[in-house]
Amino acid sequence: MALDQNQLNEKSALNVTWLGVFANLALSVIKALAGVLFNSVALISDAGHSISDLISDAVTIWAIKISHKPSDTSHPYGHGRFETMGTLAISLMLISAGVGIFYHSLQNINRNESPDVIAIWVAVFSILVKEILYQISAHVGKKQKNRLLTANAWHHRTDAISSVIALFGIIGSRMGYPILDPIAAVLVSGWIVKTGVTIGYDAFKDLTDTQLEKNILKHILDILDNIDGVLRHHELRARRMGSHILIDLHIEVRWDVSVSVSHQVAERVRRTILSEIPQVSEVLVHVDSENDLYENVTELMRPQKEIEQDIVAVTSAYDEIKQVTHIVCHYLEGKLSVQLDIELDSNQTISQAKVFVNQLKLDIKKIPDITNIDIHLEL
């Protein structure tokens, strides 16, 4: 059975994350052993970072599996928030690892052992592996617009950069400046903390429903400006739900079009946004006949059912009217306009009908709230 796009995204995300698991497991062991055997505090610190990468991979796998579940009664908008929670968890692990490495580095600041040259090759190997992992994970994350994968990719890259810093520390120690090795470890910890804060801040913004980036909003506005039937638009709101985007907005249509026409315009808006912005999973379109941005613009008036009852009561007093066929109410700018279709007695002449209709208009305008009446005669 063919997989849908959501299942394909989940499969590719899990594959690239499992690749990271095996790579981080191997690097953690290699760097820890090399750090101990060849006297490199920076490599030991770097091994700690690789272990944190291993934990972040586990969190990523958990978040991917849950976030790709379909919506249900408990989570009607889907499980995308679990992806954001996973991203936030990774950021906290990065910060914790950075603080721990910083503390460990301070404990070894006066250590004078010089790392063995083999430690250099271990650092170079780690840089290459982690950069490859970054490129693969970042590619999948960018393709899927998946912030969790992107965060985990940056976790790989910070490990690569930390290995670069560790490499400089090892080389400095080999040149007769052993203090550079623990100093390099301090720099590694600073970079890790900085990255963790940046990733965590982005996840926090998503959890607090912060408005989307301006370029995405502009794209949505451009779409609205080019859809026939949309006179104006307002109250555009968009937020992230994991890798997905949820949008709600108001559009204004002509006040005299039917409900079905208004629905067609709204549906065209919804489908166009969904097709042009793949990240968007939900679009809620509210249709207005006027700008209701401010509460006092649209007055809440009597419902149409009451208006119809009053109109029928008035028309029933006229023997010339065979039946009332249609009553349509238009609520606009705090005023009520009514369109009335009636069928007259066939014995009525045009001149008689004209006099009759003018009198009927005067009587209907006496009904509370009605400010305008348009009467159509049916033959």
Cα separation, 364 vs 336, whole angstroms: 12
Query: Does residue 130 sit in the same domain as residue 39?
Result: yes
Question: What range defines the domain where residue 330 resides?
Answer: 304-378
Cβ contacts of residue 2 below 8 Å, gap of 6+? Answer: none
Cα separation, 343 vs 320, whole angstroms: 9
The percentage of residues in the chain with a pLDDT greater than 70, rounded to a whole number, is 87
Sheet with 232-241, strands from edge to edge, namely 232-241, 244-252, 280-288
What confidence score (pLDDT) does residue 1 get? 41
Q: Quick one: DSSP state of residue 322?
A: E
More confident residue, 161 or 284: 284
260-296 pLDDT, tens digit per residue, is 999 999 999 999 999 999 888 899 999 988 776 655 5
349-359 pLDDT, tens digit per residue, is 788 888 888 88
Cα separation, 305 vs 318, whole angstroms: 21
Cα separation, 254 vs 363, whole angstroms: 28
Q: Of 163, 189, 207, which residue sits at a domain end?
A: 207
Mean pLDDT of the chain: 82
What confidence score (pLDDT) does residue 6 get? 63
Query: Does residue 265 sit in the same domain as residue 366?
Result: no
What confidence score (pLDDT) does residue 116 get? 61
Q: How many CA atoms lie within 13 Å of 352's alpha carbon, on the beta-carbon side? A: 8
pLDDT at 61 over 60: yes
Other beta carbons within 10 Å of 318: 15
Query: Does residue 249 sit in the same domain as residue 352?
Result: no
Cβ contacts of residue 133 below 8 Å, gap of 6+? Answer: 19, 20, 23, 153, 156
Cβ contacts of residue 277 below 8 Å, gap of 6+? Answer: 216, 219, 220, 245
- Distance, CA of 201 to chain centre: 15
The confidence band for 157, taking pLDDT boundaries of 50, 70 and 90, is confident
pLDDT at 107 over 80: no
Q: Is residue 129 part of a domain?
A: yes
Q: How is residue 205 written in tokens?
A: 């913004």
The confidence band for 160, taking pLDDT boundaries of 50, 70 and 90, is confident
Q: How is residue 17 written in tokens?
A: 């994350």
What element of type H or E holds 239? strand 232-241
Most confident by average pLDDT, 95-104, 241-250, 326-335: 241-250
- Asked if residues 176 and 118 have their Cβ atoms less than 8 Å apart, the reply is no
Of 117-131, 221-235, 339-353, 359-373, least confident by mean pLDDT is 117-131
Q: Quick one: DSSP state of residue 117?
A: T
Q: Is residue 293 part of a domain?
A: no
pLDDT at 115 over 80: no
Q: Is residue 22 part of a domain?
A: yes
Of 24-33, 161-170, 201-210, 283-292, least confident by mean pLDDT is 161-170
Using the Cα atoms of residue 272, residue 273, residue 277 and residue 278 in order, give the sign of their dihedral: negative
pLDDT at 43 over 50: yes
Query: Does residue 187 sit in the same domain as residue 264?
Result: no
The confidence band for 207, taking pLDDT boundaries of 50, 70 and 90, is confident
Q: What is the CATH number of the domain that holds 238?
A: 3.30.70.1350
Specify burial of residue 293 (Cβ count, 10 A radius: 0-12, 13-18, 19+): exposed
What confidence score (pLDDT) does residue 268 get? 96
Q: How is residue 223 written in tokens?
A: 């779409």
Q: How is residue 287 written in tokens?
A: 């249709």
**Which one, of 116, 126, 133, 125, lies nearest residue 173 by Cα?**
116
Q: Is residue 297 part of a domain?
A: no
Cβ contacts of residue 85 below 8 Å, gap of 6+? Answer: 63, 203, 207
Phi, psi for 347 (deg, rounded to 5): -80, -10
Cα separation, 91 vs 215, whole angstroms: 26
- Asked if residues 83 and 146 have their Cβ atoms less than 8 Å apart, the reply is yes
- H helices of the chain, in order, are 5-37, 41-67, 80-107, 118-144, 147-174, 180-207, 214-225, 259-276, 304-315, 350-364
The confidence band for 35, taking pLDDT boundaries of 50, 70 and 90, is confident
Q: Is residue 295 part of a domain?
A: no
Q: Is residue 185 part of a domain?
A: yes
Query: Does residue 221 sit in the same domain as residue 270?
Result: yes
Q: Is residue 74 part of a domain?
A: yes
